Amino acid sequence: MVPEAVWGPLLAAVGAAVVVGAGFETRALISRRTGDTLSEFMRPWARRHPRTFIAACAALVAVGAWLPFHILGGE
């Protein structure tokens, strides 16, 4: 399979999700309605599942630390 056929659409979908998410967050900040922002939505879930939330945050930090070196270093 051609890598471009997989990575191109995948990156486009991630980019679209970021744009849509930023739009929702901006709308929530403008409306000032309680519970609309991502952090207000996630907070109750994180309090109910603290270990899962910490593991997910740790995974995101690890990927964020690894990815630039992987891309720029070519490993």
The 3-class secondary structure across 13-39, one letter per residue, is HHHHHHHHHHHHHHHHHHHCCCCCCHH
Domain with 20 in it: 1-36
Q: Mean pLDDT over all residues of the chain? A: 89
pLDDT at residue number 75: 56
In a domain, 68, yes or no: no
Spell out, as residue ranges, where the chain has pLDDT lower than 70: 1, 74-75
In a domain, 22, yes or no: yes
In a domain, 27, yes or no: yes
pLDDT at residue number 61: 95
pTM reported for the whole predicted model: 0.66
In a domain, 46, yes or no: no
In a domain, 47, yes or no: no
Number of domains in the chain: 1
In a domain, 75, yes or no: no
